[in-house]
Chain A
């Protein structure tokens, strides 16, 4: 077979003058969905993860556990359909929200469960003595979490957080199902219009790989900068897709 890369210079006849410009705009949507979802996932995930390790509050721990089980045991695509079809029907004001925001929420909540699991594991990996040391100094619970436990726990979980951040970019591809014009949606539509699937899929796959690689390098930089000299942390194992 012969390559026809000039396909990217053609006019798709929509709001974008050429296919490559359409693709770059789609990449922009992929990056925005992923980064916004990552912010949501990190904030909610941290909160839920911390709740699950609080002493003397069994109901908050149960709430945290229920959150994780709920969002971890339903496939992401089904969760996206719930946000898109079911929640607007149950809560009428959600009808005004566009599908981009709904996908960000779905992906963010889905990933928050995985991040909560890692934050909990990171906190529990610390020796109990660290918590007691904080208490002995007269810190309140909030204070010893802020100044003693969390700074160490976050350093421990940087490796699994790295793979989770890369996962969020890969998982954002599921947004095609509710017609967010991100990379996968572009790939499917452009393939149909031009019948040059190989060139288009290659370019889109390369953009996904580049995105994942850039996130990986950023996290490696953060890991290096935040290292405590002389303290070697054991890397946890990441999982999932």
Chain B
């Protein structure tokens, strides 16, 4: 068995791989930002001490965390109505149905995981900080925004970033609905040139390189933060 990677020219990478790579990165970025925002809201609901806020948030988070991501991807692809896709201009909704559905899925799914991280982060802030804010005459909202959440984010930054790496790996699962991500790019390139084996190998190497570099960076950051505190 001879491996031949010579068919991987720059043109091929540009036509097949980069298109998918951009989508994977975009999916990761949008769902991290969206997931952290939505997740923080969920965490605040769960810590509010009010049953009508706590209960739905708990059900949502535990529900999302007990089903496989692939099933959630299939659910959203099935349930988001065609009228929603029609809202997008320039027929984007029609041409990128899987991709749009994937973004919605990842934001809602990852929010459940980010909310658990944010909840731990908020709970890691000592009671004294909360009381100090209250003693300064801050409202609940001011106290959260100015005192607690900035510290919670900082304490949880390495964990949030680790979750982002897991999220990046999970973006490959949009395969289930045929969205064009990086893995899909490699697969199509491999099929078109009759070299699927080399293509899958190269995909593994690229994913490994990205994830290994990111996780090494997070480890460094973790060390740095640990020294400051």
Interface residues of A (CB under 8 A from B): 69-70, 72-79, 81-82, 85-86, 89-90, 166, 169-174, 176-177, 184, 187-188, 191, 197-198, 201, 204-205, 208-209, 212-213, 237, 239-241
Decide: B71 and A204 in contact? CB cutoff 8 A.
yes
Interface digits, B199-220 against A, CB 8 Å rule (1 contact, 0 not)? 0110110011001100100000
Decide: A173 and B68 in contact? CB cutoff 8 A.
yes
Which residue of B is nearest A84, CB measured?
Answer: B200
Which residue of B is nearest A88, CB measured?
Answer: B197
B143 at the interface (CB under 8 A from A): no
Q: A187-B74, A197-B78 are in contact. Are A77 and B67 (CB under 8 A)?
A: no
Which residue of B is nearest A240, CB measured?
Answer: B166
Chain B, range 57-98, C-beta contacts under 8 Å to A: 66-71, 74-75, 78-79
Distance to closest chain B CB from A159 (angstroms): 14
Interface residues of B (CB under 8 A from A): 1, 66-71, 74-75, 78-79, 113, 120, 159, 162-163, 166, 169-170, 172-173, 175-176, 183, 196-197, 200-201, 203-204, 207-208, 211-212, 215
Partner of A208, one of B66, B79, B201, B203: B66
Q: Which residues of B contact A187 (CB under 8 A)?
A: 71, 74
Q: Which residues of A contact B211 (CB under 8 A)?
A: 72-74
CA–CA, A86 and B69, complex, Å: 25
> Could you write out 9 A-B pairs with CB less than 8 Å apart?
A82-B204, A86-B200, A166-B66, A173-B70, A184-B70, A184-B71, A187-B74, A198-B79, A209-B66
CA–CA, A23 and B163, complex, Å: 33
Q: A73-B212, A188-B74 are in contact. Are A79 and B204 (CB under 8 A)?
A: yes
Decide: B163 and A239 in contact? CB cutoff 8 A.
yes
Q: Which 9 A-B pairs have the closest CB atoms?
A: A73-B211, A173-B68, A75-B169, A170-B68, A75-B172, A173-B70, A197-B78, A77-B172, A73-B212
Which residue of A is nearest B165, CB measured?
Answer: A73
CA–CA, A129 and B207, complex, Å: 41
Distance to closest chain B CB from A67 (angstroms): 13
Number of cross-chain contacts by CB at 8 Å: 106
Q: A239-B162, A241-B166 are in contact. Are A74 and B204 (CB under 8 A)?
A: yes
Distance to closest chain A CB from B154 (angstroms): 18
The DSSP consensus for interface residues of chain B is helix
Partner of A69, one of B163, B172, B207, B212: B212
Which residue of A is nearest B167, CB measured?
Answer: A241
Q: A73-B215, A77-B175 are in contact. Are A205 and B71 (CB under 8 A)?
A: yes
**Interface-centre pick from B66, B78, B196, B211 (highest chain A CB count, 10 A):** B66
Decide: A177 and B175 in contact? CB cutoff 8 A.
yes
Which residue of B is nearest A237, CB measured?
Answer: B120
Q: Which residues of A contact B173 (CB under 8 A)?
A: 75, 77, 174
**Interface-centre pick from B1, B67, B166 (highest chain A CB count, 10 A):** B67
Which residue of B is nearest A166, CB measured?
Answer: B66
Decide: B172 and A85 in contact? CB cutoff 8 A.
no
Which residue of A is nearest B213, CB measured?
Answer: A73
CA–CA, A206 and B169, complex, Å: 25
Distance to closest chain A CB from B99 (angstroms): 17
Which residue of B is nearest A76, CB measured?
Answer: B169
Which residue of B is nearest A212, CB measured?
Answer: B66
Distance to closest chain B CB from A109 (angstroms): 13
Decide: B69 and A170 in contact? CB cutoff 8 A.
yes
Q: Which residues of A contact B172 (CB under 8 A)?
A: 75, 77-78
Q: Which residues of B contact A201 (CB under 8 A)?
A: 71, 74-75, 78
Apart from the given pairs A77-B173, A209-B67, A212-B66, 18 other A-B contacts in the complex at a CB distance below 8 Å: A69-B212, A73-B169, A73-B212, A75-B183, A78-B204, A82-B201, A85-B197, A90-B1, A166-B66, A170-B67, A177-B176, A184-B71, A197-B78, A201-B74, A205-B71, A208-B68, A209-B66, A239-B163
Decide: B67 and A205 in contact? CB cutoff 8 A.
yes
